[in-house]
Amino acid sequence: MLTIAIGADDAATDLKNLMKSHLQSKGIEVVDFSHDIGENALMYPDIAYNLASAISEGAYPRGILLCGTGIGMAIVANKVPGVRAAQCHDTFSAERSRKSNNAQVLTLGARVIGPELAKNIVNVWLDSEYEGGGSAPKVEKIDYYEKLGKPV
């Protein structure tokens, strides 16, 4: 069974709950890192960092982060070594984030897209796999710069 990590801040709680139900209806297990789980009162940078760290450590193959725009979550998740997060607000970008960039984290903006589009984006993202090919050297270069950690 596929397990997806999910995390949202207060701006995206409703969309997160919808996405959880959507994923579970597809037989996908969901682990929630959100601000509203238990006594968790973390801000979006903490949620994004914790989820991306779990992805980086191999605890989950993929994750979905939601906030008002998806921007902040993507910025933070991309600070975690080994993680490629893509902010997507259309299905083509979602597909390419996987097929060309091997993004393990999808970020969505609850104030930017509606629920049906969000479901479609998630479906396309889940159904897409990294193709390598001509994109492989580019992804390898991303990894190289990440490890380098300073301008060349």
User: Which residues are annotated as catalytic?
Assistant: 67
- Between residues 149 and 120, which one has the greater pLDDT? 120
The band of 37, judged by pLDDT with boundaries at 50, 70 and 90, is confident
DSSP 113: S
Two structure tokens written together for 112? 């930017």
pLDDT of 152 reads: 59
Question: What is the distance between the alpha carbons of residues 8 and 109, in angstroms, rounded to a whole number?
Answer: 10
Q: What is the pLDDT of residues 82-110, one digit of tens each?
A: 999 999 999 999 999 999 999 999 999 99
Instruction: Compute the CA torsion angle 15, 115, 85, 123 (nearest 10 deg).
Output: 120
pLDDT of 148 reads: 84
Which one, of 31, 41, 38, lies nearest residue 9 by Cα?
41
Residues 11-38 have a mean pLDDT of 94
- Between residues 42 and 107, which one has the greater pLDDT? 107
Lowest mean per-residue pLDDT among 18-22, 45-49, 133-137: 133-137
Residue 39 has pLDDT above 70, yes or no: no
Terminal CA-CA length for the chain: 42
pLDDT of 40 reads: 64
Residues 53-72 have a mean pLDDT of 98
pTM given for the model: 0.93
pLDDT of 82 reads: 95
Question: What is the distance between the alpha carbons of residues 12 and 44, in angstroms, rounded to a whole number?
Answer: 10
Q: Which domains does the chain carry?
A: 3-148 (3.40.1400.10)
How long, in residues, is the chain? 152
Helix (H) or strand (E) holding 31: strand 29-32
Residues 6-31 have a mean pLDDT of 97
The band of 127, judged by pLDDT with boundaries at 50, 70 and 90, is very high
- Between residues 140 and 36, which one has the greater pLDDT? 140
Q: Tokens 């270069």 identify what position?
A: 141
Is residue 79 a contact partner of residue 49, using CB atoms and an 8 Å limit?
A: yes
Which one, of 55, 58, 48, 61, lies nearest residue 108 by Cα?
48
